[in-house]
A and B are shown apart, each in its own frame.
Chain A
Amino acid sequence: MPQIRLDNLVKRYGAVQVLHGIELDMAENEFTVLVGPSGCGKSTTLRMIAGLETVSDGEIYIDGRPVKDLDPKDRGLAMVFQDYALYPHMDVASNISFALRLQKRPRAEIDAKVREVAELVGLSDFLARKPGALSGGQRQRVAMARALAKDSEIFLFDEPLSNLDAKLRGQMRAELAIMRQRVQKNMIYVTHDQIEAMTLADRIVVMNGGYIQQQGTPEELFKRPANKFVAGFLGSPPMNFLGATLVREDDMLMAQGAAFKVAIPADTAARLPTSQTSVILGVRPSDLNYNSEAPDAEAFDLRVKVSEYVGAQSVLLCECGSTDITVELKSETPIALGETLRFALRPEGIHLFDPKTEMAL
Chain B
Amino acid sequence: MTSQRLNKLTPYMFMAPAAIIMAVALLYPLGYMIYGSFRDWNPSQTIGESEFVGFKNYITLFYDPAFRESLSVTLTFAFAVVTAELVIGVGLALLLDRNIRGMSVLRTLFILPMMIAPVVVGLMWRYMYHPTVGTFNRWLKSWGFEGVDWLGQHALLSVIIADIWQWTPFIFILSLAALQSLPRSALEAARIDGATAWQQIWYIKLPLMMPVLIVTALLRLIDAFKVLEVILVMTEGGPGLSTEIVALRISRTATEFRELGTAAAMSNYLLILLLVLTLAMFAITRLQEARAARLARQIQEEG
Q: Which residues of A contact B (CB under 8 A)?
A: 50-52, 71-73, 77-79, 81-89, 98-99, 102-103, 130, 132-135, 146, 150
In Å, the complex CA distance between A103 and B299 comes to 33
How would residues 165 to 203 of chain B score, 1 for a CB under 8 Å from any chain A CB and 0 otherwise? Answer: 000000000000000000101101111111100010001
Contact of B188 among A52, A78, A135 (CB under 8 A): A52
Whether A73 contacts B191 in the complex (CB less than 8 A), given A88-B186, A89-B208, A132-B292, comes out as yes
Q: Are B188 and A81 in contact (CB under 8 A)?
A: yes
Enumerate 21 A-B pairs (CB-CB under 8 Å) in ascending A order.
Answer: A50-B192, A72-B191, A73-B193, A73-B195, A78-B192, A79-B192, A85-B183, A85-B186, A86-B186, A86-B189, A87-B190, A89-B208, A98-B190, A98-B203, A99-B193, A102-B195, A102-B199, A132-B292, A135-B302, A146-B189, A146-B193
Among A71, A85, A133, point to the contact of B189 (Cβ < 8 A): A85
Place the interface of chain B in its size category. Answer: 20 to 34
Asked if B295 lies at the interface with its beta carbon under 8 angstroms from chain A, I say yes
A147 to chain B, nearest CB (A): 9
What would 7 more interface pairs be, CB under 8 Å, given A52-B191, A79-B188, A79-B192?
Answer: A78-B192, A83-B183, A86-B186, A89-B208, A102-B194, A103-B194, A130-B295
A73→B194 contact, CB < 8 A: yes
Tell me the minimal C-beta distance from B287 to chain A in angstroms.
14
**CA of A102 to CA of B191 in the docked complex: distance in angstroms?**
11
Give, as a whole number of angstroms, the nearest-CB distance from B202 to chain A: 11
Residue of A nearest to B292 (CB): A132
Q: State whether the Cβ of B204 lies closer than 8 Å to any Cβ in chain A.
A: yes
Q: Hey, which chain A residues are within 8 Å of B142, CB to CB?
A: none
Q: Judging by beta carbons under 8 Å apart, are B185 and A81 in contact?
A: yes
CB interface residues, B 254-303, toward A, < 8 Å: 292, 295, 298-299, 302
Measured CB to CB, the closest approach of chain B to A67, in angstroms, equals 13
Among residues of B, the one whose C-beta sits closest to the C-beta of A132 is B295
- Please give me the residue from chain A that is nearest to B183 by CB atom: A85
CB of A134 within 8 A of CB of B186, answer no
Residue of A nearest to B300 (CB): A135
- Report the Cα distance A79→B208, complex, angstroms: 21
Q: Is B186 a contact of A73 with CB atoms below 8 Å?
A: no
Contact residues in B for A150 (Cβ distance below 8 Å): 193
Tell me whether A77 and B192 are in contact (CB under 8 A).
Answer: yes
Closest chain B CB from A242 CB (angstroms):
44
Residues of B contacting A132 with CB < 8 Å? 292, 295
Instruction: Tell me the smallest distance from the CB of A43 to a CB of chain B, in Å.
Output: 12
CA gap between A71 and B192 in the complex, in Å: 8
Q: Point out which of B183, B193, B203, B210 has the most chain A C-beta atoms below 10 A from its C-beta.
A: B193
